[in-house]
């Protein structure tokens, strides 16, 4: 069982690594420590239907293994973003 101090340490390590390596930002995210964008909690394996991520700077974020049905990415900067293995049925990129 993980105690509180181990959880705090894991959170600190995840934050530290995200500062050093922003492209690994999502790898540090978990259900208990999600990446939050526009109020949406994003982490590997997350189901995020109807996400409105339009007009945002999402440069370099790793969205792999996230399920985004009906997501709206219109006008967003996705340069360097990783969408491999992301599920994007009916997603809008225009």
- Structural element, H or E, at residue 42: strand 40-42
pLDDT in tens, 41-55: 998 899 999 999 999
* Inter-residue contact 54 to 75 (CB < 8 Å): yes
Range name among 9-18, 47-56, 66-75 with the lowest pLDDT average? 9-18
User: pTM of this prediction?
Assistant: 0.66
Non-local CB neighbours of 26 within 8 Å, separated by 6+ positions: 35, 42, 43, 44, 61, 62, 63, 64, 66, 82
Does the pLDDT value for residue 7 go beyond 60? Answer: no
How much is the average pLDDT of 9-28? 54
């Amino acid at each position: 069982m993980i105690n509180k101090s181990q959880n705090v340490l894991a959170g600190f390590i995840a934050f530290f690594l995200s500062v050093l390596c922003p492209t690994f930002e999502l790898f540090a995210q978990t259900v208990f420590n999600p990446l939050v964008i526009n109020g949406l909690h994003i982490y590997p394996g997350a189901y995020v239907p109807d996400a409105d991520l339009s007009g945002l700077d999402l440069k370099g974020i790793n969205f792999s293994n996230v399920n985004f049905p009906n997501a709206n990415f219109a006008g967003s900067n996705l340069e360097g973003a990783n969408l491999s293995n992301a599920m994007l049925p009916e997603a809008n990129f225009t």
